Structure formats: C-alpha cells, structure tokens
Amino acid sequence: MISYKKLWHLLLDKDLKKKDLVTLAGVSTYTISKFNRGDNVTTDVLQRICKALECNIGDIMDIVPDGPKNDGHNTGTAR
C-alpha cells in the first residue's frame, strides 16, 4: 500500500495548499483526490510533483505493508 502522508507534511512545511500543488505541478484535482485515497498515480505525475516541490520521490510517499491477510483459518479463541 502507498501512503502519501509525507506529501501532505511537505506541503505544510512549504506553507502550500493542495490547490497550490494543482497549479505548481500541473495536476488535476482528480489526481489530488487519488492521493487522498492512496490510489495509484502515474510516475509522470509523481515526477511533476517532485520537480515542482524540489524534492525526491521518497520525500512524498512511503510504501507501507498491508495488514495481515485472512487465509480462511480462524485465528480467534476457541468457543
């Protein structure tokens, strides 16, 4: 799973709002909503954001492990 929390913190540090990012990086508001949901975006979008904010990819996103997967076995206590 991808987390863009670093992007939001970077915007705060630079005293910018999401609408500023739309203008600076030339991305759509739909793309910003994809970031809010943690959805996939293209590497082109990530590159434009990094260029606009003068940062590296690791400054705006993290890969976080997914939670434990349910394999169908009951891991709870016996009844």
Boundaries of domain holding 35: 2-63
If one counts the domains in the chain, the total is 1
In a domain, 68, yes or no: no
CATH number at residue 6: 1.10.260.40
Domain presence at residue 70: no
Average pLDDT, rounded, for the chain: 89
The pTM of this model reads 0.78
User: Residue 54 corresponds to which tokens in the numbers above?
Assistant: 């003068």
Length of the chain: 79
For residue range 23-40, what is the model confidence (pLDDT) as tens digits? 999 999 999 999 999 899
**Are 2 and 62 within 8 A, CB to CB?**
yes
CA angle 4, 9, 10 (to 5 degrees): 95
Q: 33: helix, coil or strand? A: helix
